[in-house]
Amino acid sequence: MTAMDGQSGLEAQFAQWRQHVERRSELQRSDADELEDHLRGSVDELMAIGLRPDEAFLVAVKRMGSLNDLSREFAREHSERLWKQLVLTGGTDGPVVTARGRRDLLAVVVCAAGAAASVKVPELFGMSFERDGAFYATNLSLFTLPWLAAFLAWRRHASRALIGALVALFAVGAVAANAYSLAEDSQSVVLTGIHLPIALWLVVGLAYVADDLRSSRRRMDFIRFTGECFIYYVLIALGGGVLTAFVFGTFEAIGISPEGFVSRWLLPCGAAAAVVVAGWLVEAKQSVVENIAPVLTRLFTPLFTAVLLAFLAALGGSGTGINVEREALILFNLLLVVVLGLLLYSISARDPLAPPGLFDKLQFALVVSALVIDVLVLLEITGRITEYGTTPNKAAALGENVILLVNLAWSAWLVLGFVRRRTPFSAIERWQTGYLPVYAVWAWVVVLLFPPLFGFR
C-alpha cells in the first residue's frame, strides 16, 4: 500500500465516522468538529510511533470509546438537545439558514396578513357575515387557500407555467362559487361549500408538489402535510379559543363589551390567517417533532377496527337492516373517510421496507369491515334512489361513496397481497397517491356541474 492510498483511505474512514457522529441528535456539528480534531490528534500521535494509518485509526476510535457512551455523556450535559426546538428564524448553524428563515418569516407574515385582509374585503362592498351567509359559505376557502398556495409556490420557486395554472384554477373556483346564483337554502350551496374547499385544497397540493408534479413521494409528502396542517390548525384554534376567552373576560371586567370586535375581526381574521400559519409551521418544523397524525393513527386503528367489527356482529345478530336516512348516508361516508384517513396516515409513516406485521393485518380487518358495512349501505341507498328519484345531496353522497369504495376495495386487495408477501408495500403507496386526482376531479364536478345539472336546486 502506498502512503497516498493510506491517506485517502484514512480520509474516507474519517468521513464515515463523522456521518455516524452527526446522526446523533445529542451531538451537534461543532461537537463533531471538536471530536474529529481529537480523533485526528490521536491518529497523528499513533502514526508518529510507527502505526500504519488504518491501524492508527482503529486504535484511536477504540480509545475514544463507543459512540453510545459518548453521546450519553453529552446528553447529560445538553439534555435540552433531545427536545428539538422549533427555530423560527433559522438555527445558529449558519448565516445562510438564518437569512432564509427570516425571508420565510416575512413571506408568511405577508401571506397571513393577506388572508386576514381578504376575509374583510367583501365588507367594503357592503357584504356582512350575518346577511350574506351563502356568499361566505361558498367563498371562505377562496379567501385563505390562495394565500397558502402562494406561500408554498414561493417557497418551492414554482415555474411560471405552474403559477399560471394555480391562478387559473383559483379563478375557476371563484367563478364556480359566484357565477351560479344559488338560493341560500338550496342543497347546491351546501355542496359547493363542502366541495370547493376540497378542490382548492388539492390545488394547494399542486403548489406543494411544485418541484416534482408526478413524484409519488412528493404526493405522499402532501398527504403528510395535510394531516399535520389539520392538527396544527386545531391546536391554533384551541389557543385562539383561550385568547378569545381572555379578551371577553378582561374587557368585560372594565365594562367594555368586545363582542363586536371578536365576532367581526378576531375570529374571521384569525381563522383565515391561521390556515397560512399552520401550513408554514408544518413546513418549518418537518423534522422538529414527531409527526402527530401517524401517532394518532396507531392509537385509533385498533379501536376503530373493534368498533366496526362489533357493529357488524350486532347487525348480524339483530337481523334488522340499516335504517338509511340522509344523515345515515353522510355518517357512513364520513366513516369511510375516517377509515381511509387511518389507512393513509399509517401508510405515510410506515417504513416501506419493513416486513408485514400484526398492525398490517389489523388494518386489513379495518378496511374489510368498513367495506362490508359500506356495501350494505350502498345497496340500501340505490334502492331508495331508484324509488324516489335523486337530489343533488344524494347524488353527491352516492358518488363519494363509490369513489371511496373503489379506493378501499383495491387498497384491501393490495394490503392483503402485502400481508401475504405477494405485493410490495410501495404498490399501496402508489395506489393512494395516484388516486389523489380522482378526488380533485370529483370535487370539481360537484362544484361546477352539479348546480346546472340539478337546476340550481
Partner 1 sequence: MRVTKDLVAASATPMVLGILAEGESYGYAILRRINELSGGELDWTEGLLYPLLHRLERLGHVESSWQSVAGERRRKYYRITRSGLAELAEQRRQWDTVVGALKQVWRGSGEIRPFTAIPLEGPA
Grid coordinates representing 44?
497523528
- Angstrom distance (rounded) from CA 34 to CA 128: 63
Strands (E), 348-406: none
Question: From the list 64, 127, 292, 416, which residue makes contact with partner 1 (rule: CB under 8 A)?
Answer: 64
Q: Is 74 in the site for partner 1 (CB under 8 A)?
A: yes
Residue (42 or 333) nearer to partner 1, CB: 42
Question: From the list 5, 11, 22, 37, which residue makes contact with partner 1 (rule: CB under 8 A)?
Answer: 37
* Contacting residues for 102 by C-beta, under 8 A, at least 6 apart: 89, 90
Question: From the list 22, 33, 252, 325, which residue makes contact with partner 1 (rule: CB under 8 A)?
Answer: 33
Residue (32 or 137) nearer to partner 1, CB: 32
Question: From the list 21, 35, 134, 448, which residue makes contact with partner 1 (rule: CB under 8 A)?
Answer: 35
Minimum CB–partner distance for residue 151 and partner 1 (Å)? 37
CB of 376 closer than 8 Å to CB of 418 = no
Residue (25 or 178) nearer to partner 1, CB: 25
- Angstrom distance (rounded) from CA 189 to CA 138: 7
Q: Is 94 in the site for partner 1 (CB under 8 A)?
A: no
* Contacting residues for 403 by C-beta, under 8 A, at least 6 apart: 438, 439, 442
Q: Is 92 in the site for partner 1 (CB under 8 A)?
A: no
Minimum CB–partner distance for residue 92 and partner 1 (Å)? 14
Question: From the list 29, 52, 78, 298, which residue makes contact with partner 1 (rule: CB under 8 A)?
Answer: 78
- Angstrom distance (rounded) from CA 347 to CA 354: 12
Grid coordinates representing 351?
417504513
Q: Is 56 in the site for partner 1 (CB under 8 A)?
A: no
Q: Is 221 in the site for partner 1 (CB under 8 A)?
A: no
Residue (14 or 248) nearer to partner 1, CB: 14
- Angstrom distance (rounded) from CA 161 to CA 163: 6
Closest CA to 370 of 305, 421, 434, 429: 305
**Dihedral (Cα; 319, 324, 327, 329), 10-degree rounding:** 100
Q: Is 40 in the site for partner 1 (CB under 8 A)?
A: yes
- Angstrom distance (rounded) from CA 389 to CA 29: 68
Q: Count residues near partner 1 (CB under 8 A).
A: 20
Residue (62 or 217) nearer to partner 1, CB: 62
Question: From the list 11, 15, 41, 303, which residue makes contact with partner 1 (rule: CB under 8 A)?
Answer: 41
Q: 174-177: long-range contacts at Cβ-Cβ below 8 A with a sequence spacing of 24 or more? A: 174/139, 174/142, 176/444, 176/447, 176/448, 177/138, 177/139, 177/142, 177/447
Q: Is 113 in the site for partner 1 (CB under 8 A)?
A: no
Q: Is 22 in the site for partner 1 (CB under 8 A)?
A: no
Residue (82 or 161) nearer to partner 1, CB: 82
Q: What angle is formed at CA 86 by the lines to CA 84 and CA 90, rounded to 5 degrees?
A: 115
Q: Is 5 in the site for partner 1 (CB under 8 A)?
A: no
Q: Is 34 in the site for partner 1 (CB under 8 A)?
A: yes
Residue that is written with C-alpha cell 441528535 in the block: 25
Q: Is 93 in the site for partner 1 (CB under 8 A)?
A: no
Residue (34 or 325) nearer to partner 1, CB: 34
Minimum CB–partner distance for residue 75 and partner 1 (Å)? 9
- Angstrom distance (rounded) from CA 303 to CA 121: 45
Question: From the list 10, 31, 147, 392, which residue makes contact with partner 1 (rule: CB under 8 A)?
Answer: 31
DSSP 288: S
Grid coordinates representing 305?
377496527
Q: Which of residues 342-371 bind partner 1 (CB under 8 A)?
A: none
Residue (35 or 440) nearer to partner 1, CB: 35
- Angstrom distance (rounded) from CA 457 to CA 453: 9
Minimum CB–partner distance for residue 21 and partner 1 (Å)? 11
Minimum CB–partner distance for residue 80 and partner 1 (Å)? 11
Q: Using CB atoms within 10 Å of the CB of residue 146, give its burial: 0 to 12 exposed, 13 to 18 middle, 19+ buried.
A: buried
Minimum CB–partner distance for residue 268 and partner 1 (Å)? 46
Q: Is 65 in the site for partner 1 (CB under 8 A)?
A: yes
Q: Is 70 in the site for partner 1 (CB under 8 A)?
A: yes
Residue (78 or 394) nearer to partner 1, CB: 78
Site for partner 1, rule CB under 8 A: 30-31, 33-35, 37-38, 40-42, 64-65, 69-70, 72-74, 76-78
